[in-house]
Structure 1
Amino acid sequence: MQFEAEKSFFTSTLVLLIGVVCILLFMGILIHRTVLRPLNALNDAVTSSKQTGVFTMPQIVLASEIRFLATTFDTVLKKLQTHNQLKSEITQRKQVEAELRESEASEKQKSRELEQTLQELRHTQMQLVQSEKMSSLGQLVAGVAHEINNPVNFIHGNLHHASQYTQDLLDLLRLYQEYNPAPTVAIQTVTEEIDLEFLREDLPKLLVSMQVGADRIREIVKSLRSFSRLDEAEVKDVDIHEGIDSTLMILHNRLKSKSDYPAIQVVKDYGDLPRIECYAGQLNQVFMNILSNAIDALDEQNQQRSPAEVMDRPSIISLQTRVVGTDSVEIQVADNGPGIPEAVQKRLFDPFFTTKAVGKGTGMGMSISHQIITERHKGKLECHSSPPQGAAFVIRIPIRQTY
């Protein structure tokens, strides 16, 4: 009885174990088919997608959580690919934009360089034209001065003798009248016709007037000859005051009084300057440009004032020279015109900059003057102005040029 019970227990246990094994085997096969194989297939598909960039859904993945996972991964991968594609496109666009900006900056730089080159070419061209004009003017003035100088010297030299001869004749006439107080009727008639007494008084005055005129012409010729050094290219020792005075002589017609306005007064305060080593003609050109601009400013101001206002506050150009230190001289040209605004002062020496009406200025005068002083003479040219208190141009150049 006990044996039967043990046998039955053993049989039941064996059956139970076999059942458990079968169940476990079935569950293992089921897990392998439904979980492990799909996961391995999904893993292979994911690994393949890393290389190809394309995710292919495995056929053995059934509608389950694993398929949901695979579908989710496929969706994420596609979104990631879309994101990467967009990121790549954005990067490419940024690169293209950067290249475009770089190209645009390069083109702008080339455009600025080209504009600057054209500006320099125009500046150089205007300088050459201006230099050629001034050289031609210098040659013309020198030729005219030479042609005028010879006959003027002839007239000037003979006027002294003419005055002496005239005085001798007048003395003889006086003696003749003293010793022959009763002339003949014919002599008396001619004496009355020519008004002898008036001739005796006016003839010396006439000769003096001719002498003054001849001296004036000689001064003009001297100024022309001094100014005609514009075509000289060599450095020479010159008298600065002579250059300024010759320029004023050339501009005399613009300084003198007009129909409604008095003359522009020129006040000189010349210091004791040594002879300066410089390019005389070019320095005269600077004086001409600065003085011409001062006259233009004063004329423009006078046109806006009544004659009475001009009389109360006449137009004045002040010229002052002095030695600075031991190696430089300073020339200041000041006027009591309307002055120069600060914005204009900043561009005053720029090429082609002018505030004058079209056709009245090229904008090169002050630019060339600045270059002559700073580059040719190693000096300084400055403008000081506080409108409406007039303007002052200060030139400072070394007494001796260094090479």
Structure 2
Amino acid sequence: MSENRVDAEPVSAILSGEFARKLAARDKTIEVLKRRIARESHLSNTTPFAILEQNVGLEKVVALKTQELEKKRRELETALDELRITQSQLLQAQKMESIGQLAAGIAHEINTPAQYVSDNVGFVKSASDSLLHLLDAALILADSVREQMTEMPALQAFDTALKKTKVDFFRQQVPNALDESLEGLGRITKIVSAMKEFSHPSQNEKEYADIREIINTTITVARNEWKYVATLNTYFADNLPQVPCLRDMIGQVILNLVINAAHAIADKVQAGVKEKGNIEISVIPKNDYLEVKVKDDGTGIPENIRNRIFEPFFTTKAVGKGTGQGLAIVYSTIVDKHHGQIRCESEPGIGTTFIIELPLHYIAEGNEACK
């Protein structure tokens, strides 16, 4: 994977070098024109008025060259921003590929023991049910014998053991403990399965996918980010059509938005404004696209920076807590990779909603294929 890495520093150096060469070319053109005018003026005794006309012409040339250079500079800045986004996406893709490889190994290592532990706990649960039935029968038998032979030593020993055992507590707690154990083991299996599914690379090939599965998988993977600060609910319209997409990249989009929502709510929780917030993810079909909304009741986004949130490397988070790449990657994935739309509605102190529109019809791009 290392051969695919993009180094931002050489790219910047190349673009800066190209701009410097164009600037040097402009200066060289100006110097040549100045020498030509001086030479012609000396040889032909040109009048000051003629020299003035030539100077005006020279200024026009300089202005034109300056405009051309300014245009090139803007183009180079745009190219540099695009390269930075591409670099971020490539690094993210490499990271996700590594996670996918690790997840496959971890899944095997965890699923195997989890499966036989689950099987054994299931067996113990079944056996405990049988033992409880046997205990009930033994208690009935003991009551019957007690009426006839009160002084029987075996019966007295049974009654003593019965008092120490706390049968009622055993009867109530053991089945609950086993049920909780089986539920926990099932959750382990679900999390590992979700991690495998989430990390599986799309190989840059779009395929028709169930957006509900992508979202449910992602929120399972991200559960540790939101469970302490928010309640997360999903709302899916009935009979949602499948959408052509790069599943891992759409999963990354949902992950970034959910994490951002959790962080915005955490800021409110830490400030003592509320104990816990809410995150809602909804999906409904609209005409020829799916509308996906990720809504939170966090701190909101100030109006003066709202139009910059999708810019590469723009962040309001403290150093070490945010790189400014998350929403830039979200925008690039939805708009550039899927020809969709994304917008943000926010009110400071109330919350934020991101609205995504994903086309339901496959749009060919380059050599991509849709399975």
Q: Same fold (TM over 0.5)?
A: yes
Does the CA-based 8 Å contact 1:138-1:231 persist in structure 2?
no
CA–CA separation in structure 2 for the residues paired with 1:128 and 1:95: 49
**2:265 counterpart letter in structure 1:** L
Q: CA deviation at 1:377?
A: 2.1
The answer to whether structure 1 residue 150 and structure 2 residue 112 are counterparts is: yes
Q: CA deviation at 1:174?
A: 4.0
The answer to whether structure 1 residue 289 and structure 2 residue 253 are counterparts is: no
Q: Which residue of 1 aligns with 2:100?
A: 138
The answer to whether structure 1 residue 239 and structure 2 residue 210 are counterparts is: yes
Residues 143 and 382 of structure 1: is their aligned pair in 2 closer, same or farther, counting only changes over 3 Å? farther
The answer to whether structure 1 residue 128 and structure 2 residue 90 are counterparts is: yes
Q: CA deviation at 1:195?
A: 5.4
Which stretch of the first structure deviates more once superposed, 111-120 or 372-381?
111-120
CA–CA separation in structure 1 for the residues paired with 2:219 and 2:174: 33
Q: CA deviation at 1:285?
A: 0.6
Unpaired segments ≥5 residues, structure 1: 1-80, 258-262
Residues 366 and 246 of structure 1: is their aligned pair in 2 closer, same or farther, counting only changes over 3 Å? same
**1:284 counterpart letter in structure 2:** G
Q: 1:248 aligns with which of 212, 215, 219?
A: 219
Unpaired segments ≥5 residues, structure 2: 1-43, 147-152, 365-371
Does the CA-based 8 Å contact 2:202-2:246 persist in structure 1?
no
- SS in structure 1 opposite 2:357? strand
Q: Which residue of 2 aligns with 1:402?
A: 363
Q: Which residue of 2 aligns with 1:12?
A: none
Q: CA deviation at 1:271?
A: 0.8
Residues 232 and 190 of structure 1: is their aligned pair in 2 closer, same or farther, counting only changes over 3 Å? farther
Q: Which residue of 2 aligns with 1:276?
A: 243
Does the CA-based 8 Å contact 1:338-1:389 persist in structure 2?
yes
Q: 1:328 aligns with which of 289, 293, 309?
A: 289
The within-5 A match list for 1:96-175 is 96-175=58-137
The within-5 A match list for 1:51-70 is none
Does the CA-based 8 Å contact 2:268-2:274 persist in structure 1?
no
Does the CA-based 8 Å contact 2:301-2:352 persist in structure 1?
yes
Q: CA deviation at 1:275?
A: 2.9
The answer to whether structure 1 residue 344 and structure 2 residue 311 are counterparts is: no
Q: Which residue of 2 aligns with 1:384?
A: 345
CA–CA separation in structure 1 for the residues paired with 2:208 and 2:49: 77
CA deviations over 1:283-302 (Å, ceiling 9, x no partner): 11110011111111111233
Q: CA deviation at 1:324?
A: 1.0
Does the CA-based 8 Å contact 1:289-1:365 persist in structure 2?
yes
Does the CA-based 8 Å contact 1:170-1:200 persist in structure 2?
yes
- SS in structure 2 opposite 1:139? helix
The answer to whether structure 1 residue 91 and structure 2 residue 62 are counterparts is: no
Q: Which residue of 2 aligns with 1:373?
A: 334
CA deviations over 1:118-140 (Å, ceiling 9, x no partner): 33322222221122112222332
CA deviations over 1:275-330 (Å, ceiling 9, x no partner): 333221111111001111111111123333x2xx415xx522122211112x3221
Q: 1:301 aligns with which of 261, 264, 268?
A: 268
Does the CA-based 8 Å contact 2:236-2:282 persist in structure 1?
yes
Does the CA-based 8 Å contact 1:381-1:393 persist in structure 2?
yes
The within-5 A match list for 1:31-70 is none
CA–CA separation in structure 2 for the residues paired with 1:147 and 1:140: 11
Q: CA deviation at 1:380?
A: 1.5
Paired residues in the alignment total: 311
**1:135 counterpart letter in structure 2:** E
CA–CA separation in structure 2 for the residues paired with 1:86 and 1:400: 69
CA–CA separation in structure 2 for the residues paired with 1:282 and 1:193: 60
Which stretch of the first structure deviates more once superposed, 181-190 or 136-145?
181-190
Q: CA deviation at 1:216?
A: 1.9
Residues 379 and 179 of structure 1: is their aligned pair in 2 closer, same or farther, counting only changes over 3 Å? same
Query: Considering only CA atoms, is the larger Rg found in Structure 1 or Structure 2?
Result: 1
Calculate the aligned-residue CA RMSD, in Å: 3.0
CA–CA separation in structure 2 for the residues paired with 1:90 and 1:236: 67
- SS in structure 1 opposite 2:208? strand
Q: 1:264 aligns with which of 213, 230, 254?
A: 230
CA deviations over 1:315-373 (Å, ceiling 9, x no partner): 22122211112x32211111122322333232222222222222222222222212222
Does the CA-based 8 Å contact 1:328-1:398 persist in structure 2?
yes
Q: CA deviation at 1:109?
A: 3.8
Does the CA-based 8 Å contact 2:211-2:242 persist in structure 1?
yes
Residues 377 and 110 of structure 1: is their aligned pair in 2 closer, same or farther, counting only changes over 3 Å? closer
| Normalised TM-score (structure 2) | 0.73
CA–CA separation in structure 2 for the residues paired with 1:346 and 1:233: 29
**1:242 counterpart letter in structure 2:** E
Residues 122 and 336 of structure 1: is their aligned pair in 2 closer, same or farther, counting only changes over 3 Å? same
| Normalised TM-score (structure 1) | 0.67
Does the CA-based 8 Å contact 2:226-2:259 persist in structure 1?
no
CA–CA separation in structure 1 for the residues paired with 2:97 and 2:325: 16
CA–CA separation in structure 2 for the residues paired with 1:183 and 1:242: 61
Q: Which residue of 2 aligns with 1:20?
A: none
Which stretch of the first structure deviates more once superposed, 93-102 or 377-386?
93-102
Identity %: 33
Does the CA-based 8 Å contact 2:209-2:244 persist in structure 1?
yes
**2:234 counterpart letter in structure 1:** K
Does the CA-based 8 Å contact 2:85-2:329 persist in structure 1?
no
- SS in structure 2 opposite 1:363? coil
Residues 179 and 392 of structure 1: is their aligned pair in 2 closer, same or farther, counting only changes over 3 Å? same
